[in-house]
Amino acid sequence: MNKTITVAQIRQAAQEAFDESRNLKGGANADYIPYLANIDSNLFGLSITLLDGQVINIGDTDYKFGIESISKVPTAILAMQQHGTATVLKMIGADATGLPFNSIFAILLENDHPSTPLVNAGAITACSMITPKGDSDAKWKAIVDNITKLCGSAPQLIDELYKSESDTNFNNRAIAWLLKNYNRIYDDVPMSLDLYTRQCSLGVTTSQLSVMAATIANNGCNPLTGDKVFDPDITPKVTSLIATVGFYEHTGDWLYTSGLPAKSGVGGGVLGVLPGIMGIAAFAPPLDSAGNSVKAQAAIKSFANKLGLGIFNGNNITIQK
């Protein structure tokens, strides 16, 4: 069905979705990373970036929070850009695990396979694949430059978060060495894990993440800067990864109710992609049992449902200025 929506309708739906969700109770800040436990639980922001470069910001959209697992998306894109989408499928995989993001069991069940770049195991492998191999500083620069180009502005390392995660990431150390045992880490193990931990500790705003999402929705061309950040064939691949496993063991429920491919992080962020239409991001620290922000999910879902957005309904959306 052809459907035309106006920018005014988008603004109104976003404001209503934000207002409906702001007083939701439930969930709790992540506390297995001490820094995250102390973030103000009431922070809440919602941002939408349209493919003509318009950004709609509501609430705490300038607050820099830990990107956490949402960083898995840009680094998967970088690995695909550097090595090609077929190589990433071969060297990491694209399967949903149906298990928590940090599951060791998932690695064993997949029979030595890290499954997908969007769970911890696959993301550590993706960091190991980034070139130039063996050069931690140059790899880090490639990771940050890529995020900067996707967002149109730079993320900022939160030193305290990086230290907090590095001091407590025992489970991820086990994952990294288990993968090494299966020949699935393609560079130095502690270096690959450190790059993963550091990228999770980057601070970003919802406004920046919505631009990143819009760049993905726009086949790799940043709608704000006009920069061609990655090749167009990567958009359907990375969006399929996001749709398959973006909310871990709650991904099916999420996709069924929202219709929108989205990726969460335990910092409280969610990034959603509607290919050809828009990027969306929300942030609120309290998480559900799978580590997904309660309010960010509610706001994005409500926004999408109000406007009939979603990748499964057959709607052909045109946005009118």
Ligand X SMILES: NC(=O)CC[C@H](N)C(=O)O
Identity of the residue numbered 215: T
* Residue 150 Cβ vs ligand X, minimum distance, rounded to whole Å: 18
Region 8-37 residues binding ligand X, contact defined as CB under 6 A: none
61 in contact with ligand X (CB under 6 A): no
* Residue 165 Cβ vs ligand X, minimum distance, rounded to whole Å: 6
Nearer to ligand X, 36 or 311 (CB): 36
Q: Count interface residues toward ligand X (CB under 6 A).
A: 11
Q: Is 249 annotated as a binding residue?
A: no
Q: Is 120 annotated as a binding residue?
A: yes
> Beta strands of the chain (E only): which ranges?
2-6, 45-50, 55-59, 65-66, 156-157, 202-204, 262-264, 269-274, 278-283, 316-320
Q: What is the dihedral of CA 10, 15, 17, 21, to 10 degrees?
A: 160
DSSP code, position 70:
G
- Cβ contact 250:243 at 8 Å: no
What's the rounded Cα separation, in Å, for the pair 96 and 119?
9
Q: Which of 211, 209, 206, 205 is nearest to 224 (CA)?
A: 211
Region 269-298 residues binding ligand X, contact defined as CB under 6 A: 291
302 in contact with ligand X (CB under 6 A): no
Please identify the residue of the shown chain whose CB is closest to the bound ligand X.
Answer: 69
Q: What is the dihedral of CA 303, 306, 308, 311, to 10 degrees?
A: 30
Q: Is 266 annotated as a binding residue?
A: yes
- Cβ contact 118:247 at 8 Å: no
* Residue 5 Cβ vs ligand X, minimum distance, rounded to whole Å: 32
* Residue 249 Cβ vs ligand X, minimum distance, rounded to whole Å: 11
CA–CA distance from 252 to each of 68, 235, 248, 257, 281 (Å)?
21, 21, 9, 9, 19
* Residue 203 Cβ vs ligand X, minimum distance, rounded to whole Å: 13
Specify the 3-state DSSP secondary structure of 81.
helix
**The binder of ligand X chosen from 95, 110, 165, 187 (CB under 6 A):** 165
φ, ψ at 128 (rounded to 5°) = -70, -25
**The binder of ligand X chosen from 29, 69, 239, 258 (CB under 6 A):** 69
Region 183-212 residues binding ligand X, contact defined as CB under 6 A: 200
Nearer to ligand X, 36 or 319 (CB): 36
Q: Is 248 annotated as a binding residue?
A: yes
95 in contact with ligand X (CB under 6 A): no
φ, ψ at 262 (rounded to 5°) = -150, 155
249 in contact with ligand X (CB under 6 A): no
* Residue 307 Cβ vs ligand X, minimum distance, rounded to whole Å: 28
**The binder of ligand X chosen from 18, 35, 101, 283 (CB under 6 A):** 101
CA–CA distance from 27 to each of 37, 155, 290, 307 (Å)?
12, 27, 10, 27
Q: Is 196 annotated as a binding residue?
A: yes
57 in contact with ligand X (CB under 6 A): no
* Residue 80 Cβ vs ligand X, minimum distance, rounded to whole Å: 20
CA–CA distance from 292 to each of 75, 98, 140, 204, 285 (Å)?
20, 14, 27, 17, 9
125 in contact with ligand X (CB under 6 A): no
110 in contact with ligand X (CB under 6 A): no
- Interface with ligand X by CB under 6 A: which residues? 68-69, 101-102, 120, 165, 172, 200, 265-266, 291
Annotated binding residues for substrate, as ranges? 69, 120, 165, 172, 196, 248, 266
